[in-house]
Amino acid sequence: MFRDETVKVEKRVRASWGMSDAASASSTSTITSSNASQSAPAKTKRSASIAPTARSGASSIPTPPASVLSTSPVSTQSPPRIRESPSPTTPSAIQPGDLLQGSSWEALALHSPVSTNPNDLGLSFYVNHYILGYPDEVKRGEDLSSELWFQSPASQATMTALGLAGLGNLHNDNQLQLLSKVKYGEALACTNQALREPLKNLDAAIRATIMLALYQCVRTTHQSHGNVRVHLLGCMALIKSAIPIRSVPAMGIRGLLQLCYSLLVPCIQTGVGLPDNFFQWVRDSGSSDFLPPDEKPGATLAHIIARFAQLNATIRNTAYTDGREPTARMLRQLVAVECDMKEWEASRAGKWQYQVHRHPALPAEAVFRHQYHRYSDVWTSRIWNHFRWARILTNQTILEQAERYPTSAAGIVSPGLRDRIHDTIRRLAADVLTSAPTHYKHPRLTRAHLDIIQTHGGAGAGAVGIPHLMFQLQVAACAPGVPYGIWRWALGVMETAWGELGMMHVKSLAEVLRGHRPDAEGVGDEDADVDGERV
């Protein structure tokens, strides 16, 4: 039984902290009793990569041992695999007010004091680092009490698993990592139970399914796509079956499109082709009256990127010969995709337009060149970033294939086109970095900063977009011809996100950036000018 396994692992965690069961019971009683006597909280150590926390409130949750909260070397070694029982369990909902009373929504690290119950610790970590302060989310932990999705057993178990996984990664704590896997098993069982009647709490069912995919990003590196793909496909099936898309097209199509974009990323990274007719509904909806005019650009772009994904898979799995017609045809198809992307960008109007703002007082570590974008809503900002990384990769592929097959490229990829491609890559790479504050709540950004920067509307689900953003930063920073300053800034954001979130997906992408410029680690920020060029 999941509950029996959880109890065993929790005992092991408490034992590793030097706690007895009696002490744990006493601390739990302190948490749940509103009249219990309170003592001053103990201070905790924090990772050097995370800025100091904001003031804690009056909550008297005991502090766990330093082995959990102190800085320790990071290990990429996976915890031992455990046997997961298929029997479901229903964890009791934890009130966010019990965890976060009086705490600031912009806090950067674990609040002190924190609960000695590892499950409470995991949930508190997830709420503080993955929900509070993000667009369209609550600003205070206690406000989550009114959210139905937060109270569902599936959401509680999944958030706890995510928080424990992040903490286990940051502090190289095998016991927390093991407990996170047990809670993940509970989350699967609870989500399966919720999906039997999804309309009872559709928001909770969708969020839980998406968070299960996010769990894989927290627990594993960016190369591990299998389990993420499974959860995303499951969420897509849920939306298709539960939401009457033709009666509420904007709501239904946005959810499906976001999942499609999420699935495109691993397909392009691995060179795996898309399922047959996978994007047929996107093609149909974009060319018919099914969608409102304002929503069609998102569907049109998804179809264009899907064409590139199929081309990318073909290129990776085909042996071309320079000077032969199949090679020239491949290059012409790539150039055609680039032309369609160029036309898509040039034709954006109305709600799809955005403004570039500059604010010198914003911290340079969090806001690239002190500039940020202002969009009509978060949905359009996400689509724009998907456009940017896809067009960068399309142009990069054109350059790579033209260099590999110069005879076939003659007359197709002209010197003038090469120059325009380099200019486009540099421009879009800078735009990816400029858009980052819209999607990531950097620890250096205060609440006042976020009020200036953030776009709202069409967001929600907290930090689930972080894996996408980190992939986009990696594409921008590793693109051919981009300035050193872009690479250095993107790496800094990744290192900060890893230190704050404990997401292995982010850590592994940061390693990709370091490998891309292995000789650049000793170069300081003083070696880059204000435009990000190497001096």
Which residue did the predictor score with more confidence, 155 or 5?
Answer: 155
Tell whether the model's pLDDT for residue 410 goes beyond 80.
yes
Residue 173 belongs to domain spanning: 1-20+84-219
CA 272 – CA 409 distance, rounded (Å): 25
For residue 300, what are its two tokens? 């049109």
CA 27 – CA 12 distance, rounded (Å): 17
HSE on the CB side for 201, CA within 13 Å?
18
Helix axes 504-516, 202-219, angle to 10 degrees: 40
DSSP string, 368-384: GGGEEEE-SSHHHHHHH
Beta-bridge partner residues of 371: 358
In a domain, 110, yes or no: yes
pLDDT at 214: 87
Tell whether the model's pLDDT for residue 38 goes beyond 90.
no
* CA angle, residues 468, 343, 431, in degrees to nearest 5: 40
Exposure b/e, 107-116, CB count within 10 A at least 16 = b:
bbbbbbbbbb
pLDDT at 493: 97
Is the CB of residue 306 less than 8 Å from the CB of residue 282?
yes
Q: What is the CA radius of gyration of the chain?
A: 24
CB within 8 A of 160, min separation 6: which ones?
A: 91, 119, 122, 123, 126, 180, 183, 187
DSSP string, 154-183: HHHHHHHHHHHHHHHHHHT-HHHHHHHHHH
> Distance of alpha carbon 382 from its chain centroid, rounded?
12
CA 509 – CA 517 distance, rounded (Å): 13
> Distance of alpha carbon 414 from its chain centroid, rounded?
38
The pLDDT-based confidence of 261 (bands split at 50, 70, 90) is confident
pLDDT at 77: 36
- Which spans in 79-132 are helix H? 96-100, 118-126
pLDDT at 231: 52
Which residue did the predictor score with more confidence, 151 or 61?
Answer: 151
Q: Quick check: bond before 437 cis, omega within 30?
A: no
The answer to which of 75-89, 434-448, 462-476, 518-532 has the lowest mean pLDDT is 75-89
CA 531 – CA 369 distance, rounded (Å): 7
pLDDT at 383: 94
Could you tell me how many residues make up the chain? 535
For residue 88, what are its two tokens? 């479901």
In a domain, 453, yes or no: no
Is the CB of residue 54 less than 8 Å from the CB of residue 448?
no
pLDDT at 230: 56
* CA angle, residues 358, 390, 269, in degrees to nearest 5: 125
CB within 8 A of 197, min separation 6: which ones?
A: none
**291 Rama sector, left if φ>0, alpha if ψ -120 to 50, beta otherwise:** beta
CA 75 – CA 245 distance, rounded (Å): 44
The pLDDT-based confidence of 282 (bands split at 50, 70, 90) is low
Report the number of distinct structural domains present in the chain.
Answer: 1
- Distance of CA 147 to CAs 255, 432, 479, Å? 20, 32, 42
CA 29 – CA 33 distance, rounded (Å): 6
Tell whether the model's pLDDT for residue 486 goes beyond 50.
yes
Per-residue pLDDT reduced to its tens digit, 367-384: 999 999 999 988 899 999
Per-residue pLDDT reduced to its tens digit, 216-237: 889 888 766 555 555 556 555 5
The average pLDDT across 508-515 equals: 94
**220 Rama sector, left if φ>0, alpha if ψ -120 to 50, beta otherwise:** beta
CA 281 – CA 284 distance, rounded (Å): 5
Query: CB-based burial of residue 513 (10 Å sphere; 0-12 exposed, 13-18 middle, 19+ buried)?
Result: buried
Tell whether the model's pLDDT for residue 170 goes beyond 90.
yes
CA 474 – CA 336 distance, rounded (Å): 25
In a domain, 226, yes or no: no
The pLDDT-based confidence of 336 (bands split at 50, 70, 90) is very high
